[in-house]
Amino acid sequence: MYDPDKLKQIRDQVDNWEDNTLQQGSSRLPERKKQFLTTSSEPINRIYTPLDVAPIDYEKDLGMPGEYPFTRGVHPTLHRSKLWTMRMFAGFGSAEETNKRFKYLLEQGQTGLSTAFDLATLMGYDTDQPEAEGEFGVCGVAVSSLKDMEILFDGIPLDKVSTSMTINSPASIIWAMYIAAAEKQGVRPDQLRGTLQNDILKEYIAQKEYIFPPEPSMRLVTDTVEYAAQHLPQWNPISISGYHIREAGSTAAQELAFTLADGLEYVRWGIARGLDIDDFAPRLSFFFNAHNDFFEEIAKYRAARRIWARQMREVFGAKNPRSWLMRFHTQTAGVSLTAQQPENNVVRVAIQALAAVLGGTQSLHTNSMDEALALPSEHAVTVALRTQQIIAEESGVTNTVDPLGGSFFVEAMTDRMEQQALDYFAQIDALGGVLPAIERGFFQSEIAEAAYQYQREIDSNERLIVGVNAYADQGGYNIPILQMDPEGERRQLERLRTLRAERDPGALGQALDKLRLACQGTQNTMPFLLDAVRAYATLGEIMSLMKVEFGVYEESTEI
């Protein structure tokens, strides 16, 4: 037991010591005094004691790892028995080039694939459409048809490798292409393992790669959730993403709150479709950012698990314990990387990755040192992968589960993150829910204000970024830049011309007509999308059809 009066006395002594030090002109503390804050610009105490932590009911608030409410982790042994999936995000240029990078990463010890698509693909255009000009392969791989998908995963056994695909508005079409490509390998849908990002709500909130209005977009997402529950039991049909919310400039608390609010909205749509929550909730997954504030990030992950578990069991009435679990992938913070002194990014990424591991992630991507300059080179991506492997094999942090559990600081911050998220839930509910809040610009304005405040702190030197506004120099850095195959786009365009000339126009027209009718009605669109891509309908052709049926969304200029 502890004596509260004694602890208060000790804390007062610490406060007095620091105040006296500041008055005496310490060379460090005056400069750093304003930096003792989180990304939410909230102050951090000088010292944490049991006085800062509400009385903990261990079973109710923490539990053992693998037990409700999963504050300490979703698995009893976590990384002692099985390491997280090392899933490096990759994609550039042509399907051939990215296939080669996939195979290289698997040879280097990566344990799962993660696919980046170029902007034309993300926006639903074929490479040869005018809107796609200049975008081929720039930020990911170009996939315009099932033929590209077949090449992308050629020689990669899809019944043995799990695959993540980062795509949203056209997600159901790209997923159909993946399922059809697996069929051509002789792999059944129920054998496929992986994750479709498919998180359209965060597009309206942060990333802005939306195409259709919210209502039909949510219908398409719910179609994939229903289809996965019925046919792909090992697949995660949504990766509910805080990553892009954070990259847009949100605080950690906003990332946590807005991501979980989106997840709860998907649950509501699934239930409204007539699905039993326990038939689809176990396959919902999450995707979080790992930013620079080490302890704040760990607290965010711990709070996320606890909130989700309580919402699933106590609010939605899920009975299956797997429905209560929050399983998540993490990516280190791309927005934190600097073009100045790029080698420093290796250190940033290592710290961020360590936070994700200590926070209990199930899957992890580590950014490469050169990503503020270009797509990752083979050398840079290997260093990024080795960073994960060193954490796993050499650091000792995998030897015990939730080693920071019980820390006064970490538990106090976990409680604070949870309360901030619940406060945001109340604000969203007061606006009528997630979709009305999007339409009114609530999420967008909150993120914009947070991003502005963060940048002001950097500009005023209240927040120091090494190599940018601290310890900066004018020296040059010789970082090799990835060069894409200059013939890749030509091959892609020729492949599209050949495909259109050789496919069966009768089968294509019939498949597209049936898809059009499905879009006009209430049937699940996935079976019709599968038939369309099997007939080699292109991404752009299918999206053009859907735009006619669903319309195109334009964000209000009043936000």
Q: How does pLDDT run across 166-189, given as a tens digit for each residue?
A: 999 999 999 999 999 999 999 999
Domain that holds residue 316: 79-396+404-459
* Residue 473: inside a domain: no
Instruction: Give the whole-angstrom CA distance, residue 414 versus residue 71.
Output: 9
37 pLDDT band (50/70/90 cuts)?
low
Query: Residue 486 falls within a domain, yes or no?
Result: no
Give the pair of three-digit tokens for residue 443: 């999420």
Q: What is the token pair recorded at 20?
A: 């006296």
**Higher local confidence (pLDDT), 2 or 370:** 370
**Phi, then psi, of 437 in degrees rounded to 5:** -65, -35
How far, in whole angstroms, is CA 360 from its chain's centroid?
A: 15
Strand order across the beta sheet in which 194-196 lies: 235-236, 194-196, 163-166, 112-116, 85-90, 363-365, 328-332, 284-290, 238-241
In this structure, is residue 265 part of a structural domain?
Answer: yes
In this predicted model, what pLDDT tens digit does every residue of 243-279 receive, in sequence order?
999 999 999 999 999 999 999 999 999 999 999 999 9
pLDDT number for residue 508? 98
Bigger pLDDT: 507 vs 63: 507
CATH of the domain at 413: 3.20.20.240
Average pLDDT over residues 138-144: 95
Instruction: Give me the mean pLDDT over the 92-119 stretch.
Output: 94
Residue 507 in domain? no
Q: Which residue has the tokens 């997402």?
A: 221
Residue 21: its pLDDT value, please?
61
Cα 275 to Cα 281: distance, rounded to the nearest angstrom: 10
The torsion defined by the Cα of 296, 297, 302 and 303, in degrees rounded to 10, comes to 60
Taking the C-alpha atoms of residue 37 and residue 298, their distance in angstroms, rounded to an integer, is 15
Distance from the first to the final alpha carbon of the chain: 53
438: which 2 tokens?
A: 């999007």
pTM of the predicted structure, to 2 decimals: 0.93
Helix (H, G, I), strand (E, B) or coil at 218: helix
Q: Looking at the domain assignment, is residue 510 inside a domain?
A: no
For residue 143, being part of any structural domain is answered with yes
Q: Structural domain tally of the chain?
A: 1
Using pLDDT thresholds of 50, 70 and 90, give the confidence band for residue 234: very high
What pLDDT, in 10s, does the model give residues 503-514? 999 999 999 999
HSE on the CB side for 411, CA within 13 Å? 20
**Inside any domain, residue 15:** no
Across all residues in the chain, what is the average pLDDT? Answer: 92
Q: Is 138 domain-assigned?
A: yes
Rounded CA gap, 113 and 242, in Å? 20
H-type alpha helices, 111-236: 119-122, 146-152, 171-184, 201-202, 214-231
CB-CB contact of 288 with 328 (8 Å): yes
